[in-house]
Chains A and B, each alone.
Chain A
Amino acid sequence: MTDISAKQTLATGKYNWRVVDIVLAALIAVAGGVIFWAWSQGANLISVPLNAVYPPLTGLYAGGWMIPAVLGMLVIRKPGAALFCETVAATGELIMGSQYGASVLFSGFVQGLGAELIFAAFLYKKFNLPVSLLAGAGAGLFCGLNDSFLPWGWNIAYETGDKFAYIVFCAVSGAVIAGGLSWLATRGLAKTGVLASFASRKAASEPVFS
């Protein structure tokens, strides 16, 4: 009679990812994808004319792409969360048939990195509103840079002035949408009590600015 039981890895220390952290991060990426897809269906009325008139304006809604990065980190609060969530979201887009092809993976990685670096700069200890906004702006900045200067970017051929405009719009959109909305969402989620088994369970009562 065999009696095989699983030997557990030592998941101690507050920076180790537990199974529930991994599954939630991936599911936030999936939910973010569904929300973004549903939202952009409706927003097509705005985005297509924007694009026809002055394409860099599309940077104004690019923040929606980066919600998984900031939201994932605010909820899970472990190193690598922003990077992981955004990359998984990009993988989801690849599976759904993105117009960027396999290059969406690179873009997702770079965007996630933008947010991750901000959180790392605060040593993964601060998750208040200013940090969230900055992280969103960081993701947006990297998104703009990715689209304007890296080979697979779609704005690679624009003139410098237009590239600059796009990067600014992306950063602003990232801060407001990815940073601000994610922060609000985290607080709301904490109040509902669903985050009871995560590091962010007290997010609803944390100070806004310090």
Chain B
Amino acid sequence: MTSFDAASPAAVTARGWGWRHAGRPRPAVSGLDLDIRPGERVLLLGPSGSGKSTLLHALAGVLGDSTSDSSAAGPSAAASADAEDSDETGSLLIDGSPPRARRGRAGLMQQDPETQVVLSRLGDDVAFGAENLAVPPADIWRRVAEALGDVGLGGLPLDHPTSALSGGQKQRLALAGILAMRPGLLLLDEPTANLDPAGVLEVRDAVGRCLDKTGATLVVVEHRVAVWKDLVDRLVVLQPGSAADSAVLLDGSPDQVLEQARDMLIAAGVWVPGHIPATRARRGVAEGIAGAGGAGSADTGPAQLLLAAEELAVSRERPRRTGLLRGFRTVPPAPVQSGITAQVRAGQALTITGPNGCGKSTFALTLAGLLAPVAGSVSATTELSAGAGIDPYKWKAQQLIARIGTVFQEPEHQFVTGRVLDELMFGPRHLGRGEERVDELLERLRLRDLVDANPYTLSGGEKRRLSVATVLAAHPQVLVLDEPTFGQDANTWAELASFLSELLDAGTAVVSVTHDVEFSQVLGGTELTLGAPQPGLPGRTNPGVAAP
């Protein structure tokens, strides 16, 4: 089972360990006492700010004078030089030595698949870690082949371009790269946060296989307890510690901890298995009217049509111009999906689902008037366009925000000012109206304490709430959301779902691209399932419509 150079599992000991990042006033971790036996598998939970990522980074050996920099130049630097350095207290040891002296003993996987890849060719990327550890070249390629086989990528050629891999494949590639180093300790920092459900299971299963084979110690940080519960044998809940409190709040076997502290964990926003957070139900559903939330209530007829897509073909690429030899014609790009027909109605939700890469986001952006259709059309009814024209793509930006609001997957892409309050006032100022709504949104989305902060300094959940608020400040009739619940903890999820449910009942149309089945159930409405992507040829899709 083990090859001759398999590494032994590592043990982790922390005694009163604390870490303060350079330039920050408060420590990220403080007072941590933890013992992890070789081969043990631990799931780390805790609210954001409890230092989970910091601990993993420290174990991987990437904290320390490689990430702090005391060379802040300027006259004030000399005086405050001490406050600028990072600060470590207590001890954190892997097999009795500090992690920085044992880089390569631990392998770290992070959540963004794109920055987990180092080199362009598959084999080269896996070999990277082994090269850094000065493994002899002959052994490297043997390890590469073995690692790729272990994670399920063995069928691909070694020069396969890494940019052509899906998110789940990239995370598995990162795992292979780690395995080639023969680590004794596997550290996973929210590895499945940015993956679709299929990718999540792919990665979880690959990790399971590798652990069974190597017997390495595992420390994983994740919101989703259900995914990892059966794989780990210990659950540790951290809290922002201090000199007085220990950083470890709860410690025990998963079933034990979940039973003991179920309510506390639910309150902290952890996705406890078997529990779906309470959300506000749609008005019709709450009152028990059949078919409500879908076709509108019986006495007022079908809800007002706002946007319609007819035989729409979509792509992110722009049309190419052929040069002199072919007469300067414009060649349309090959669409990733075509033949889509859909309707967006006031007070109704439209959920777009489908496999990875099938063009869901591209379709949503085309519907929102941000991308030009390759074929077919997107038309806005006069109820929505109010004189701006039938094609949303041709609307001016100011006209667009008052009619269709789009919330992108990465909130930072949409920040345009340097202050939270200015962000919220941006839309109303440009439109010349709607400033009174800003106050309401600040309250409703709990942003009042953050009004003067720079948007980029907010936490993940706060950024998500801010991006929704800024789009709503312009009071659009249609709201388009791209993967709104990706990587969110249970509390933010519930808040968002409830808020959208309110908006729907108030008459806004909500279009969301999501994998999240529970989320679309809360919103109700119709579901549009796009088929597998059509590379090259413009094919036909099979838009399935699920009953509400």
User: A interface vs B, CB < 8 Å?
Assistant: 1-6, 8, 11-12, 14-15, 18-20, 77-78, 124-127, 188, 191-194, 196-202, 206-207, 210
* Chain B min CB distance to A59 (Å): 29
Are A202 and B76 in contact, with the CB atoms below 8 A? yes
Name which residue of chain A comes closest to B94, CB basis. A5
Q: Is the CB of B68 within 8 A of A194?
A: no
Q: Is there contact, CB below 8 Å, between B65 and A11? A: yes
Residues of chain A lying within 8 A (CB to CB) of residue B456 = 192-194
Return the chain B residue nearest A204 by Cβ: B454
- Contact A20:B66 (CB < 8 A) given known A1-B8, A196-B23: yes
Pick the residue among B23, B24, B103, B455 that contacts A5 (CB under 8 A).
B103
Q: Which one of B129-137, B274-282, B359-367 is at the A interface?
A: B129-137
Contact between B74 and A3 (Cβ–Cβ < 8 Å)? Answer: no
Q: Are B66 and A18 in contact (CB under 8 A)?
A: yes
CB of B22 within 8 Å of the partner chain: yes
The residues of B that contact A11 with a CB separation of less than 8 Å are 65-66
A188 to B417, CA, bound (A): 10
**Is B101 interfacial (CB 8 A cutoff)?**
yes
Q: Which single residue of chain B is at the shortest CB-CB distance from A189?
A: B456
Q: What's the tally of chain B residues with a CB closer than 8 Å to chain A?
A: 38
User: Is the C-beta of B7 less than 8 angstroms from some C-beta in chain A?
Assistant: yes
A4 near B21 with CB under 8 A, answer no
Instruction: Enumerate the 3 nearest inter-chain pairs by beta-carbon distance, A residue then B residue, closest first.
Output: A14-B71, A192-B456, A199-B71
Q: A8-B100, A12-B65, A202-B76 are in contact. Are A3 and B71 (CB under 8 A)?
A: no
- Which residues of B228-248 have CB atoms within 8 Å of chain A's CB atoms? none
Contacts of A1 in B (CB 8 A): 4-8
B274 CB to closest chain A CB (Å) equals 38
CB under 8 Å from chain A, chain B span 40-76: 65-76
> Do B69 and A199 touch across chains, with their CB atoms under 8 A apart?
yes
Given contacts A6-B104, A6-B133, A196-B21, contact A18 B69 (CB under 8 A): yes
Complex contacts, A206 vs chain B, CB 8 Å: 74, 76
What's the Cα separation between A196 and B135 when bound, in Å?
34
Asked if residues A2 and B69 are in contact (CB atoms below 8 Å), the reply is no
Alpha-carbon distance A127/B73, docked complex (angstroms) = 8
A178-B481 Cα distance, complex, nearest whole Å: 37
Contacting residues, chain B, for A6 (C-beta < 8 A): 103-104, 132-134
Residues of B within 8 A of A200 (CB): 72
Q: CB-nearest residue of chain B relative to A10?
A: B65
Q: Is B418 touching A197 in the complex (CB atoms < 8 A)?
A: no
Which residues of A have CB within 8 Å of B22?
196-197, 201
Chain A nearest Cβ from B191, distance in angstroms: 21
Complex-state Cα separation, A21 to B234, whole angstroms: 38
Known: A4-B104, A8-B100, A11-B66. A124 touches B73 (CB 8 A): yes
Question: Within 8 Å of chain A (Cβ to Cβ): is B102?
Answer: yes
Q: Which residues 1-25 of B have a CB within 8 angstroms of A?
A: 4-8, 21-24
Q: Is residue B300 contacting chain A, with contact meaning CB distance below 8 A?
A: no
Q: In the assembly, what is the distance between CA of A14 and CA of B75, in Å?
A: 16
**Complex A-B: 16 CB contacts under 8 Å:** A1-B5, A3-B8, A5-B101, A5-B105, A6-B104, A6-B133, A8-B100, A8-B103, A77-B71, A125-B73, A191-B418, A192-B457, A196-B21, A196-B23, A196-B24, A200-B72
- Which residues of chain A are near B71, meaning CB under 8 Å? 14-15, 77-78, 199
Asked if B73 and A193 make an inter-chain contact with CB atoms under 8 angstroms apart, the answer reads: no
- A197–B21 Cα gap in the complex (Å)? 9
CB-based contact A5/B74 at 8 Å = no
Cα-based distance from A20 to B66 in the complex (angstroms):
8
Q: A1-B8, A198-B69 are in contact. List 9 more A-B contacts (CB 8 A).
A: A1-B6, A2-B5, A5-B102, A5-B105, A6-B103, A8-B100, A15-B71, A77-B71, A193-B457
Residues A201 and B21 in contact in the complex (CB < 8 Å), given A5-B101, A5-B104: no
Residue with the highest number of chain B CB atoms closer than 10 Å, among A5, A6, A18, A202: A5
Q: How far is the CA of A93 from the CA of B74 in the complex (A)?
A: 34
CB nearest to B5 among chain A residues:
A2
Q: In the complex, A47→B65 CA distance in Å? A: 47
Given that A1-B5, A4-B104, A192-B454 are contacting pairs, would A197 and B72 also be in contact in the complex, using a CB cutoff of 8 Å? no
Contact A193-B66, Cβ < 8 Å, known A4-B104, A6-B103, A77-B73: no
Contact with A along B67-91 (1 / 0, CB 8 A): 1111111111100000000000000
Nearest CB on B from A167, distance (A): 31
**Chain A neighbourhood of B182, CB < 8 A:** 2
CB distance from A1 to the nearest CB of B (A): 6
Q: Which of A19, A196, A200 gathers the greatest number of chain B CB atoms within 10 Å?
A: A196
Q: For residue B181, which residue of chain A has the nearest CB? A: A4
* Assembled-state Cα–Cα distance A125/B72 (Å): 9
A79–B457 CA distance with the chains assembled, in angstroms = 29
Chain B residues with Cβ under 8 A from A12's Cβ? 65
Q: How far is the CB of A79 from chain B (nearest CB, A)?
A: 11
Instruction: Kindly report which residue of chain A lies nearest to residue B105, judged by CB atoms.
Output: A5
Task: Report the Cα distance A134→B23, complex, angstroms.
Answer: 30
A5 engages B5 (CB within 8 Å): no
Bound-complex Cα distance A3 to B74 (A):
44
Q: Are B69 and A197 in contact (CB under 8 A)?
A: yes
A1 CA / B7 CA spacing, docked (Å): 6
Whether B23 contacts A201 by the Cβ 8 Å rule is yes
CB-defined contacts of A20 to chain B, threshold 8 Å: 66-67
Chain A residues, Cβ within 8 Å of B100? 8
Q: Give bound CA distance, A42 to B20, whole Å.
A: 46
Residue numbers in A under 8 Å from B75 (CB-CB): 210
List chain A residues, Cβ under 8 A from B455.
Answer: 192
CB distance from A100 to the nearest CB of B (A): 21
Instruction: Tell me, in angstroms, the Cα distance from A206 to B65 when the chains sit together.
Output: 24
What distance in Å separates the Cβ of A27 from its nearest Cβ neighbour in chain B? 10
Within 8 Å CB of A199, what residues of B? 69, 71-73
Cβ 8 A contact of B67, one of A124, A127, A193, A197? A197
- Residues of chain B within 8 A (CB-CB) of A207 are 74
List which B475-524 residues lie within 8 A (CB) of chain A: none
Q: How far is the CA of A210 from the CA of B74 in the complex (A)?
A: 9
In the complex, are the beta carbons of A188 and B418 less than 8 A apart? Answer: yes
- Chain B min CB distance to A154 (Å): 24
Q: List, in ascending order, chain B residues with CB within 8 A of A193's CB.
A: 454, 456-457
Q: Identify the closest chain A residue to B415 (Cβ).
A: A192
CB of B125 to closest CB in A, whole Å: 16
Tell me, in angstroms, the Cα distance from A197 to B66 when the chains sit together: 9
Return chain A residues, CB-CB under 8 Å to B102.
Answer: 5
User: Could you tell me the distance between the alpha carbons of A210 and B102 in the complex, rounded to whole angstroms?
Assistant: 44
Partner of B134, one of A4, A127, A197: A4
- Residue numbers in A under 8 Å from B134 (CB-CB): 4, 6
Task: Name B7's contact: one of A3, A78, A125, A196 (CB within 8 Å).
Answer: A3
